[in-house]
């Protein structure tokens, strides 16, 4: 089965009447109040929200997943289905949105989907061109025909979002018609009277703003608000979404359907799914997050009369009484339903006291799985040093397999990777891990038995293939060649950085060769803290096709590894072998052993580094302002020491922007990313905060005087 469904029992399928563009059967005129129509004391409707794992411009695949979700919703008795934002094209089409061919193909696929909407009302997202402006729209297709297009009013233009680059915001209160197949179709800021039930829309960002459209829709008597979204995962964001869904349903006196994208859609953003259905401030149903399925459909039964009467009993509610020129009348019939007993969905791992750790494990595991299959790669290769970063990356790949098999079953997981021939004979998840993950320890003269033993222990615990390469001969040969060329012997006293970097760079060609032999993706192991200060060797440890942990700071990563050693994700358990990694102080092992090199000695304590980065880059504070904030947060450090570290951060930040420009794509896991291609833009060449650093030094000098 390609998809999965979360629903309540006792669903009854209906057979709505065909759409004919006329007022609904309960509404012989546009002035009729549906609440006055003959009915029982309850008007029960089965509704559904679906999450989809789409891919930009994958017309056939996107079509198939939409059809699968519609069929599942229909089979389980749903009359109304909300699908995610721009689900036909995919959300992450970037500048391809400006292609005429993309717009035309989106309309063609929309028409192909219409026959599949027989018996249901379905929200389908696509871009639509009107008077040379491109608009992000939600099409309501009812019983095989288009009822109208609602255009998004508020465009997401912060963080990783660049919607204003492609789309125009639709002005409030404007509605027009667009010709499609010799029919005039309503377009704009509109809502629908669908068989006596009024349906309105808030498209993703519309619900995140202060003046959200739902308030106006409530005054116009809307019963149900659909929210088709493409809301990327970030730590803590699911709680915010739940608040606006619940509060929207309560404050507006409506039922509210929220549908989101799922998985690694386009390479960097991870979508966690998490469909929700709420009514009058109560959560009726939640869908799972981070599913490995192609789609998930979440259903619930709503009582339209209940929300109407709650509005009627609210003293502050004062409906708009003028005629609704922006209301599109749609003929539709709903089946008679019997009330269902409400069921409480289990929170599962989302009730964990270590939710951030759980989310990180599941988000990156799903992102890796989708990156693997959508790139048609045959596995992953990791240069496993025995340290925290490469061990974390290796564990995430193994968890990708274990979480996927746990949800889909062994055969379901293998079916999604059926293009990889070497997996066909696998009968256990450890066999799959071994075929998909190769870990390589590459030892130079400065590598210790501690890291070698830790690397082997982790690889064996995970079930990965483990290889050891001795690279000291290659390092010595490069050093000899350059020494001969420049006419002098290279020495640590004068050539420290160059001698460190050559070891890291020598590791790259061999591990790339192995990845090429396996038709696999080489995973870079640099983290976000290193990216901030350039503490990485370009074409060395930054080598790779994708960088899974470049969006996460080292301080959290170390805490996560301890949690993984002791507890681990719910349903998977701990990985005790990580004790050998967690016992070490982080080190690059690029200087001679007698130098006792550690990362924090080269840089500063990681906890401080990460706080400085947030203050300087996220909050845009000056060096002096950062110093003043850190003085209160880290009183254990003296002012001169603190000032020296802060100055080091700003100098390294400016000096290493070129490195961040060259990092492999990374996954977004919070709203503080450093990726210059999608989030944090900074000039490659700059003045380096010279005057600001002078102010910091002067301030500290005055305090010491």
Q: Per-residue pLDDT tens for 589-607?
A: 888 888 888 888 999 999 9
Decide if 163 contacts 151 (C-beta within 8 A). Answer: no
3-class DSSP state of 424: coil
DSSP 671: S
What is the distance between the alpha carbons of residues 647 and 624, in angstroms, rounded to a whole number?
Answer: 10
User: Do 4-26+43-316 and 604-705 have matching folds?
Assistant: no
3-class DSSP state of 224: strand
What is the distance between the alpha carbons of residues 365 and 402, in angstroms, rounded to a whole number?
Answer: 9
- Which CATH code for domain 604-705? 3.40.50.620
Nearest to 241, CA basis, from 51, 63, 412: 51
Sign of the alpha-carbon torsion through 105, 111, 116, 122? positive
What is the distance between the alpha carbons of residues 303 and 41, in angstroms, rounded to a whole number?
Answer: 10
What is the distance between the alpha carbons of residues 420 and 416, in angstroms, rounded to a whole number?
Answer: 9
pLDDT for residue 545: 96
Residue 16 Cα distances to 80, 143, 194, 333, 483, angstroms: 11, 7, 11, 4, 82
Burial of residue 100, with CB atoms counted within 10 A of its CB: 0-12 exposed, 13-18 middle, 19 or more buried: exposed
Residue 357 Cα distances to 187, 216, 270, 272, 364, angstroms: 44, 40, 16, 15, 11
pLDDT for residue 589: 80
Q: Where are the domains of the chain?
A: 4-26+43-316, 350-597, 604-705
**pLDDT digits 0-9 by tens, 504-550:** 999 999 999 999 999 999 999 999 999 999 999 999 989 999 999 99
What is the distance between the alpha carbons of residues 239 and 333, in angstroms, rounded to a whole number?
Answer: 35
What is the distance between the alpha carbons of residues 63 and 58, in angstroms, rounded to a whole number?
Answer: 8
Decide if 646 contacts 696 (C-beta within 8 A). Answer: yes
Name the CATH topology of 4-26+43-316. Answer: Nitrilase/N-carbamoyl-D-aminoacid amidohydrolase (3.60.110)
pLDDT under 70 in the chain at which residues? Answer: 1-41, 345
Q: Which two tokens stand for residue 350?
A: 């989302």
Sign of the alpha-carbon torsion through 240, 243, 247, 250? positive
Q: Across the strands, what pairs with 146?
A: 141
Are β-strands 44-52 and 80-82 bridged in parallel, bridged antiparallel, or unpaired?
A: parallel
pLDDT for residue 41: 63
Q: Which two tokens stand for residue 679?
A: 């989030």
Please report the DSSP string for 649-669 in residue order. Answer: HHHHHHHTHHHHHHSPPB---
Decide if 663 contacts 675 (C-beta within 8 A). Answer: yes
Decide if 548 contacts 368 (C-beta within 8 A). Answer: yes
Decide if 383 contacts 541 (C-beta within 8 A). Answer: yes
Q: How many CB atoms lie within 10 A of CB 571?
A: 11
pLDDT for residue 323: 76
Residue 480 Cα distances to 225, 541, 670, angstroms: 71, 23, 45
pLDDT for residue 704: 84
Nearest to 669, CA basis, from 681, 655, 679, 682: 679
- Which CATH code for domain 350-597? 3.40.50.620
Q: Which two tokens stand for residue 490?
A: 């290279």
3-class DSSP state of 557: helix
Q: What is the residue whose two structure tokens read 């379901």?
A: 412
Q: What is the residue whose two structure tokens read 């979204």?
A: 229
**What is the number of residues in the chain?**
705
Please, what's the b/e burial string for 108-120 (b: 16 or more CB within 10 A of its CB; e: otherwise)? ebbeebbebbbbb
pLDDT for residue 347: 82
pTM of the model: 0.92
Residues ≥6 apart with Cβ < 8 Å to 250: 280, 281
């Amino acid at each position: 089965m390609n998809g999965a469904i979360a629903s309540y029992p006792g669903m009854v399928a209906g057979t709505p009447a065909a759409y004919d563009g006329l007022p609904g059967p309960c509404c012989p005129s546009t002035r009729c109040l549906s609440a006055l129509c003959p009915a029982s004391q309850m008007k029960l409707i089965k509704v559904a929200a679906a999450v989809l794992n789409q891919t930009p411009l994958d017309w056939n695949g996107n079509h198939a997943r939409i059809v699968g979700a519609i069929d599942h919703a229909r089979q389980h008795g749903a009359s109304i289905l909300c699908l995610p934002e721009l689900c036909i094209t995919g959300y992450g089409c970037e500048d391809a949105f400006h292609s005429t061919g993309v717009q035309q193909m989106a309309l063609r696929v929309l028409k192909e989907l219409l026959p599949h909407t027989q018996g249901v009302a379905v929200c389908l997202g696509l871009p639509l061109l009107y008077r040379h402006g491109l608009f992000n729209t939600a099409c309501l297709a009812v019983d095989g025909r288009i009822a109208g297009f609602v255009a998004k009013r508020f465009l997401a233009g912060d963080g990783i979002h660049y919607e204003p680059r492609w789309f125009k915001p639709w002005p409030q209160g404007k509605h027009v018609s667009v010709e499609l197949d010799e029919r005039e179709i309503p377009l704009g800021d509109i809502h629908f009277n669908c068989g006596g039930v009024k349906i309105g829309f808030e498209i993703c960002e519309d619900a995140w703003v202060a003046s959200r459209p739902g308030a106006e829709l409530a005054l116009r008597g809307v019963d149900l608000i659909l929210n088709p979204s493409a809301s990327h995962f970030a730590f803590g964001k699911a709680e915010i979404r739940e608040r606006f869904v619940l509060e929207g349903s309560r404050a507006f006196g409506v039922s509210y359907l929220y549908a989101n994208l799922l998985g690694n859609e386009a390479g960097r953003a991870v979508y966690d799914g998490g469909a929700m259905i709420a009514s009058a401030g109560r959560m009726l149903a939640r869908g799972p997050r981070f599913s490995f399925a192609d789609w998930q459909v979440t259903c619930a039964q709503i009582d339209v009369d209940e929300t109407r009467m709650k509005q009627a009993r609210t003293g502050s509610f004062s409906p708009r009484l003028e005629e609704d020129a922006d209301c599109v009348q749609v003929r539709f019939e709903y089946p008679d339903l019997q009330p269902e007993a409400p069921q409480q969905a289990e929170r599962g791992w989302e009730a964990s006291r270590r939710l951030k750790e759980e989310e990180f494990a599941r988000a990156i595991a799903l992102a890796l799985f989708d990156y693997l299959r959508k790139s048609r790669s045959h596995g992953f290769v990791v240069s496993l040093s025995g340290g925290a970063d490469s061990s974390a990356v290796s564990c995430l790949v193994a968890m990708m397999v274990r979480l996927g098999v746990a949800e889909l079953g062994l055969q379901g997981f293998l079916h999604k990777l059926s293009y990889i021939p070497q997996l066909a004979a696998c009968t256990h998840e450890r066999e799959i891990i071994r075929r998909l993950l190769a870990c390589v320890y590459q030892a130079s003269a400065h590598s210790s038995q501690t890291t070698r033993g830790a690397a082997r222990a982790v690889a064996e615990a995970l079930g990965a293939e483990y290889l050891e390469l001795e690279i000291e001969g290659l390092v010595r040969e490069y050093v000899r060649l350059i020494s001969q060329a420049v006419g002098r012997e290279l020495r640590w006293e004068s050539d420290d950085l160059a001698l460190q970097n050559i070891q890291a760079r020598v590791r790259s060609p061999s591990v790339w060769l192995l990845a090429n032999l396996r038709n696999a993706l080489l995973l870079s192991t640099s983290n976000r803290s290193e990216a901030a200060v350039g503490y990485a060797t370009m074409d060395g440890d930054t080598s790779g096709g994708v960088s899974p942990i470049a969006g996460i700071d080292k301080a959290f990563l170390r805490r996560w590894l301890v949690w993984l050693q002791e507890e681990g994700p719910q349903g998977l358990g701990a990985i005790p072998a990580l004790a050998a990694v967690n016992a070490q102080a982080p080190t690059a092992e690029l200087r001679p052993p007698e130098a006792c090199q550690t990362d924090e000695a080269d840089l500063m304590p990681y906890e401080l580094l990460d706080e400085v980065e947030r203050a300087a880059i996220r909050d845009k504070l000056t060096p002096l302002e950062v110093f003043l904030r850190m003085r209160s947060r880290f009183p254990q450090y003296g002012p001169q020491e603190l000032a020296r570290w802060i100055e080091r951060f700003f100098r390294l930040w400016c000096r290493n922007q070129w490195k961040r420009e060259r990092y492999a794509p990374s996954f977004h896991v919070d709203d503080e990313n450093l990726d210059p291609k999608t989030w944090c833009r900074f000039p490659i060449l700059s003045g380096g905060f010279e005057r600001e650093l002078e102010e910091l030094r002067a301030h500290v000098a005055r305090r010491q005087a």
